[in-house]
Structure 1
Amino acid sequence: MKAKLSSATPGPLGPWQYLQNILYYLHGGLATVVIGLIGLPWVALRGTRAANGVATFWIGYMLWAARLHMGVTCELRGPLPEGDCIIAAKHQCFLDILAIAQAMPRRAFIMKKEVMRVPVMGWYARKVGCIPIDRARGRDAMRAISTEVQHRRATPEGLGQLIIYPEGTRSRPGERLPYKNGVAMLRSMTHLPVVPVAVNTGLFWPRKGWGVRSGRAVVEFLPAISGDGRASAFMAELQDQIEDNSDRLMAEAGFSGKE
């Protein structure tokens, strides 16, 4: 089901805001290459821990640059998980990726395998433990991910926080896309708690990345859902928690959705 934003939707950007957006992407692109290349020798010598350090620095830098050029920041709410868990988040834009990644001490994303082929970023994604998914393989893909997750849980470092987007793609503010069952399958296979995350980031940072507006977005971590119970009931609770709380955060920012 899709919802449309109310008449509170802001008007088009002015020329100065477009320039700010251009400067951010030029700055961010150059910084990504420079930080990535400078970090390569360190990662080659010290492995995953060094790759996480480089990634943490890059995430913080990109958020700082967003504040510098476009005046957009992100507030975190709710208790931040620290142990092994699955984080199931509403995904509206690049900003919520950065904010969630910065908040998690031992993060790893489940991401499309194509992203892992991107120069510099894809290499670091592999080094920090992100898990590629081949959507064409369906259940076999989730079984492969579950096997990898169980392997990591058995290591001294543990799994950490595994981040997944149940919608499978970015959605517009006020838009409710069908949730995919992958998160339920992963929960059933691992018995890990699932932490829902609500956002209103798309009100400030459009899903295609162009037309970012100044303001304070919110990413809110909600109470965990246990790893037990029927998949259908779990998916219904997960979707209600994420969507209803995302609507609440958008309403706080002056927007309302109408079915």
Structure 2
Amino acid sequence: MDAVRTVLFRIFFYGVSALFVLCVPVAALFGSAFLRAYSNAWAWTMQWSVRRIVGARVRIEGEVPEGQLLFAGKHESYFEALELTRILHCPATVMKRELASIPLWGWAAQRYGTIVVDREANAAALRAMMRAAQAARATGRSVLIFPEGTRVLPGDAPPLRSGFAGLYRALDLPVVPVAVRSGTVWPRKGLMRRGDIVLRFGAPIPPGLPRREIEARVHASINALNG
């Protein structure tokens, strides 16, 4: 049955996603607010199909905080990349440059207000990321980053990328860590499986902490569902 569910999910979700992407230029004509609502509709479609076709149970633990914040999340699948933008009211998301270069999709993502970062993380790339994040902060938006830098396998806990500490210092906002368990349902490779997808929001961590302390606290919090 896992194979059947996986095939049905891919046909439905990726088919619908192709239509969403193709219609992005039209949506963009109505401005950034409409484009963000359009993105939320795509995220809702993804969540619905994961629940109804794959049979996953989605559970949110902890209080989803309000206000302008820096969210730091675990990244195991595409699920949280879309779902967090929906439930966090369209934060400016830090996105690797490879995605921004995808025709049409990359253009739409930047119109939405993503923050593009080079994975090589040289000094110039980090400065550009800080400027984009500060511009987003000036508009009142929160910022979402996956500080380990990429999708990881369930249970893996690589160190945080260097850009996170710089972003934390530049934005001077409280950090809300988000632990995630999604890779057991939606693995990077192979069949999707029924099970629980969990998003766990930790308590806000204040700004202004030393780099070593903030990295240790965020790393521990986003990996709280490991094991």
Which bracket does the TM-score occupy, shorter chain normalised? over 0.9
Q: Which runs of 4+ in 1 moved over 4 A?
A: none
Matched position secondary structure for 2:191: coil
**Paired residue for 1:150?**
134
**Paired residue for 1:171?**
152
Deviation for aligned residue 1:154: 2.7
Which protein shows a greater Rg? 1
Deviation for aligned residue 1:195: 0.8
Q: Measure the CA separation in 1 of the matches of 2:185 and 2:14.
A: 20
User: 1:109-160, CA deviations, whole angstroms, 9 ceiling, x for partnerless residues?
Assistant: 11111101224432321111011111234232221111122223333xx2x2
Q: Measure the CA separation in 2 of the matches of 1:121 and 1:59.
A: 15
Q: Is 1:192 the equivalent of 2:176? A: no
Q: Is 1:31 the equivalent of 2:16? A: yes
User: Do the aligned partners of residues 191 and 200 (structure 1) sit closer, same or farther apart at CA in structure 2, a change above 3 Å counting?
Assistant: same
**Paired residue for 1:241?**
221
Contact 1:95 1:201 in 2 (8 A): yes
CA-based RMSD: 1.7
Where do 5+ consecutive residues of structure 1 fail to align? Answer: 1-15, 248-256
**Paired residue for 2:163?**
182
User: 1:136-185, CA deviations, whole angstroms, 9 ceiling, x for partnerless residues?
Assistant: 34232221111122223333xx2x22111111111111222122121111
Q: Measure the CA separation in 1 of the matches of 2:153 and 2:43.
A: 23
**Paired residue for 2:64?**
80
TM-score, scaled to structure 2 = 0.92
Q: Is 1:94 the equivalent of 2:75? A: no
User: Do the aligned partners of residues 73 and 102 (structure 1) sit closer, same or farther apart at CA in structure 2, a change above 3 Å counting?
Assistant: farther
Match for residue 142 of structure 2 among 161, 186, 192: 161
TM-score, scaled to structure 1 = 0.81
Amino acid across the alignment from 1:22: V
Amino acid across the alignment from 1:24: F
Percent identity of equivalent pairs:
30
User: Do the aligned partners of residues 122 and 81 (structure 1) sit closer, same or farther apart at CA in structure 2, a change above 3 Å counting?
Assistant: farther
Contact 1:131 1:145 in 2 (8 A): yes
Amino acid across the alignment from 1:165: F
Contact 2:36 2:112 in 1 (8 A): yes
Where do 5+ consecutive residues of structure 2 fail to align? Answer: none
Match for residue 118 of structure 1 among 86, 98, 102: 102
Contact 1:36 1:54 in 2 (8 A): no
Q: Measure the CA separation in 2 of the matches of 1:162 and 1:202.
A: 23
Q: Measure the CA separation in 2 of the matches of 1:111 and 1:98.
A: 12
- Count of equivalent residues: 227
Deviation for aligned residue 1:223: 0.7
User: 1:50-78, CA deviations, whole angstroms, 9 ceiling, x for partnerless residues?
Assistant: 11011000110111112222112321122
Q: Is 1:231 the equivalent of 2:211? A: yes
User: 1:51-109, CA deviations, whole angstroms, 9 ceiling, x for partnerless residues?
Assistant: 10110001101111122221123211222133222111111111222321221113221
